[in-house]
Chains A and B, each alone.
Chain A
Amino acid sequence: MGAAREEAETMESVKIAITVNGRLYERETEPRRLLSDFLREDLRLTGTHVGCEHGVCGSCTILMDGQSTRACLTFAVMADGAEIDTIEGLGGIDNMHPLQAAFWEKHGLQCGFCTPGMLMTSLELLRENPAPDREEIRDALSGNLCRCTGYQTIIDAVEAAGKAMRGAGQ
C-alpha cells in the first residue's frame, strides 16, 4: 500500500509531440512511459512488438530520426520532437514495401513476432548499404532474435529485397 501511494504521489505527466509515420501526435504521458508502450497502447500502433522488454530481442526496433532504436529502451519523453517510423508506415497488404514482399516470397518469417523489428532494422541497412553481402546482413541483424526460421530465409529475403530495390531505383 505504501509503495502504491508513493507511486500515486509522484505521478507526473509531460506533454510531448511525436511524429509517427508522418503524422503528428500530441499527448500527455508519464515520464516512465516506454516508447514501445506509448506506440502500442496510447497510439494503438500495435505493429511494433514487445518481446523481452530489456533491449535484447530486437522485436520493438523502430526508426527514430532515421536510426534504428529499441523502443523498449527509450522513454516516450525522450522522443519528444522526433520523427518515428514504425512497421505501419512501411507498407500495407495492397502496397507492400519490397522488404515485406521479399520476406513473404522467401519465407522470411513463420510466427511473425520478430518480423517488424527485422524489417525496420533491414530498412536502415539497405538505406545505408543498398547491396550488402550475406555477412553484412548477418551483422546488421545480429541484434534481432528469431526463434522460428533459423535466420537463413531472413538473410535470403533481405538480399532479395536489396536487389529489388536497386532494380526499382529506390
Chain B
Amino acid sequence: MKPAPFHYIRAESVEDALSALAERPEARVLAGGQSLIAMMNLRLVKPSCLIDINRLSELDYILLDGDELAIGALTRHTAAAASPAVAEHCPLMTAAYGYVAHRAVRNRGTVGGNLCHADPASENPAVAIATGATLVLRSVDGERRVAAEDFFLSLYETAARQNELLTEIRIPKAPENQGWSFQEMSTRKGDFALVGVAATLECPNGVCSDARVVAVGVGERAERLGAAEAAIKGSAVNESSVAAAASAARDSVDPPSDFHADTDYRRDLVFTLTKRALLEAHGRCQGRS
C-alpha cells in the first residue's frame, strides 16, 4: 500500500459534499486525483478523509451564461481542451491546453481540481488570471465569488476555505478584438512548465489599450506581470515596444533555482516567452479586427 489510510466519503450531490466538508474539518476533496493521488502515493500528503466528488455530474458542464463562459469545476481537461465554446470565447485556454500534461492525465484531471491544487507551474491559473476569471466557491454557509487574481495565495495554497468547494469557473467572453497567446518552455512535452507566459492584448487603431501578462514557474504562484503590462499599454505594438515590455517582465520576477533550471535561465525565459506571447497576441488582434 502506497498511500496512508483514509476515510472515504463518496458525495452523491453538491449538498452532500458541502455537508461532509462542514462536518469534517480534516477532509480534503478528491476530484480527478491526478496531483493529489500522486502526492499521496509518495506520502507527501496523508489526508485522513477524502470526499470523492467524481459522481457530481452536475458540476461537469461548459455553457454560456450572458457575457461569461461558465465551466463546471468537474469538467475534465480533455473536454475543456476540445470544447468549441472554449475555443471561441476563451481561446487562451485552448492554447494553454497544448501544454497541459498528457492525454491520460487530461482524461481524469479536472479544471477545478487543477486550480485548487494551485501548482505554481500549472497553466490554468495563468489563464484564469489573464482572462479575469471569477471562481465560485460554495459551502453550507452559502456562495462567494473570488477573482482569480485573489485566489492563488502561494504554493498549493488558495483562498478557498476548508469547508468550501469550488463549483464553477466564470470567464468573461474574450472581446472580439482581443489577441491572445500562451507560450511555454518545459523539459519534455507535457512536463510542468519551467516558465510559461499567458498574454492577452487589445490594440484598436494600432495602439495597445489593454494588456495582461501572467507568468507561471517564476515563484510560488502564477504572477501577473504588471510592469510588462504598463510598458506595452499606450504604445504602438512593434519589436521595440515588445522588447521593452519583455525586459520589464524579466526585471520584475525573481524565479527560483532548481534542478531543472536556475534563476538566470528562468529570467531569460520570461523575457523570450513574454516577447513571443505579445507578438503572437498582437498578430491575432489584427486578424480578428
Enumerate chain A interface residues (CB-CB to B < 8 A): 7, 10-12, 14, 30-34, 37, 53-55, 58, 61, 64, 67-70, 72-75, 77-78, 121, 124, 139-140, 142-144
The verdict on B145 contacting chain A, using a C-beta distance below 8 Å, is no
**Roughly how many angstroms separate A139 CA and B101 CA in the complex, as a whole number?**
11
Give 7 nearest A-B pairs by CB, closest first: A143-B102, A31-B8, A68-B104, A54-B38, A67-B107, A32-B3, A73-B37
**Roughly how many angstroms separate A144 CA and B7 CA in the complex, as a whole number?**
32
Binds A, one of B46-54, B84-92, B120-128, B265-273: B46-54
> Do A33 and B104 touch (CB < 8 A)?
no
The verdict on B78 contacting chain A, using a C-beta distance below 8 Å, is yes
7 CB < 8 A contacts A-B: A12-B5, A12-B8, A14-B8, A67-B78, A69-B107, A73-B33, A142-B189
> Do B104 and A69 touch (CB < 8 A)?
yes
Q: A73-B34, A73-B105 are in contact. Are A30 and B5 (CB under 8 A)?
A: yes
What is the CB-to-nearest-CB distance from B94 to chain A, in angstroms, rounded to a whole number?
15
Binary contact track B28-51/A, C-beta < 8 Å → 1, others 0: 001001100110111000001010
Closest to A117 in B: B104
With contacts A54-B38, A78-B30, A78-B52 known, what are 11 further pairs, Cβ within 8 A? A7-B5, A10-B7, A12-B5, A30-B1, A58-B102, A61-B104, A72-B41, A73-B33, A73-B108, A78-B54, A143-B104
What is the CB-to-nearest-CB distance from B151 to chain A, in angstroms, rounded to a whole number?
24
> Do A70 and B5 touch (CB < 8 A)?
no
- Residue numbers in A under 8 Å from B8 (CB-CB): 12, 14, 31, 75, 77
- Residue numbers in A under 8 Å from B2 (CB-CB): 32, 34, 37, 53
The verdict on B190 contacting chain A, using a C-beta distance below 8 Å, is yes
The verdict on B161 contacting chain A, using a C-beta distance below 8 Å, is no
- Residue numbers in B under 8 Å from A142 (CB-CB): 102, 188-190
What is the CB-to-nearest-CB distance from B228 to chain A, in angstroms, rounded to a whole number?
31
Of the candidates A12, A34, A121, which one forms a contact with B104 in the assembled complex, judged by CB atoms under 8 Å apart? A121
